[in-house]
Amino acid sequence: MGTHELCVVMPVYNEQDAIGAVLEKYLTVVNYGEVQIWYNTHMIVSVVIPVYNQAPFLNECLDSVLAQTLRDIEVVCVDDGSTDGSSRILDEYASRDSRVKVIHQENHGVGPARNTGMDVAQGEFVAFMDPDDKYPDDGVLSDLVRGAEANGVDVSGGSLLMMDGRHLEPDFTFDADGVRDYADYQFGYGFSRYLYRRRLLADSAIRFPALVRFQDVPFCIEALHAAGRFCALRRISYLYRDGHHTVEWSENGGFRAVAHVTGLTMAYDLARQYGYGKMAEQMRTRLLDFVRLLCSESTGLRTDLMETRTSLAAARSDLDAARSNLGVARSDLEGVRSELNVTRAELEDLKSSESYRLGLFLTWPARKVKKFLEGITCSSRS
């Protein structure tokens, strides 16, 4: 049996059996009578996880990925400059399971972090997982791979469910298993419930935009458009966590709001470019709704701004008063300087007069006696 790792022993499958066809694509088979022994020779799925400060949820996330019955996977974790202990958790998992690969980098944002993961991924397929989410059970990846291969498509996806059991809008779930045309579906949300053939992404140069918000929807639209058709599964393939963090749209000059608007605009432009009228109208509506949200949430900001403007006006008034007082002071100073100059001129005139010279002559003996007496006094003190 050489150096191959033994993977599974099963009865000989029918040539038309979809599961056997999937196995044959990724495993080497050796027949022994009525059983076949399959050996692992290929990496099937790369699960890319961008991580930034998600230590409270990271163990649960990684455990759900590593528990998958599909064992031929790699878990590519991109530590995007975490400071909360996430880096240590990732390194511990990597030391225990060789399928976990950790890349540490400075913080660049979730989009570039996913791109880094795609660049090093080796699997036939790529899946994306956020570090605060998880898979609902251990059969998700095997079902998604089976759905893609059995139907000859490059993308396979299931339904998305909230952690607390809530469903989002209907398009986040599929009501039947089967192949769907993306031109009919026209929905770009929930990218992480899909599995993508890596070659499709590479050949079409599909990347995540470098945005801090809403970078996933443009990616999903481009990937599913490039695929054309995809396998839809009713089963829940992804659990999404919500409510554990809030977004401050006005923080740091509103850069998150700007990114969100930019992503929505990109999605709208893609929908129009690809002729997806229903999606274009959806993106237009969401863009307008978001702008209205910003306007409603900015009421407090406007109040703060008005208070700031009032304070600034008062400060300007005080400054003008100070400037006025300074002007008066300057005027008084100029008056004093003028009077001083007049006094100096009068003194010069006095010094040049005959009476001043006569006075110096008459007082000369007295001044000499005074100076002599002062000299005697200083000598006696010493």
Q: What is the DSSP string of 239-307?
A: EE--SS----TTGGGGHHHHHHHHHHHHHHHHHHHTT-HHHHHHHHHHHHHHHHHHHHHTHHHHHHHHH
| Phi, psi torsion values for 279, nearest 5 degrees | -70, -40
pLDDT digits (tens, 9 = 90+) for 184-202: 999 999 999 999 999 999 9
Terminal C-alpha separation, the chain: 119
Helices and strands of the chain, counted as H and E runs? 13, 11
Asked whether 97 and 73 are in contact (CB, 8 A), the reply is no
Give backbone dihedrals phi and psi of 5, rounded to 5 degrees, phi first. Answer: -85, 125
What are the residue ranges spanned by the domains of the chain? 5-40, 45-245, 252-297, 298-351, 352-381
How would you list the strands of the sheet with 35-40, edge to edge? 5-11, 35-40, 27-32
Could you please state the CATH topology (level 3) that the domain comprising 45-245 is classified under.
Spore Coat Polysaccharide Biosynthesis Protein SpsA; Chain A (3.90.550)
| pLDDT band at 360; cut points 50, 70, 90 | low
> Is residue 245 scored above 90 in pLDDT?
no
DSSP state of 42: S
Q: 138: phi > 0 → left, psi -120 to 50 → alpha, else beta; which?
A: alpha
Quick: pLDDT tens for 290-321.
888 877 766 554 555 456 566 667 777 777 78
Percent helix, strand, coil in the chain, to 5, is 55, 20, 25
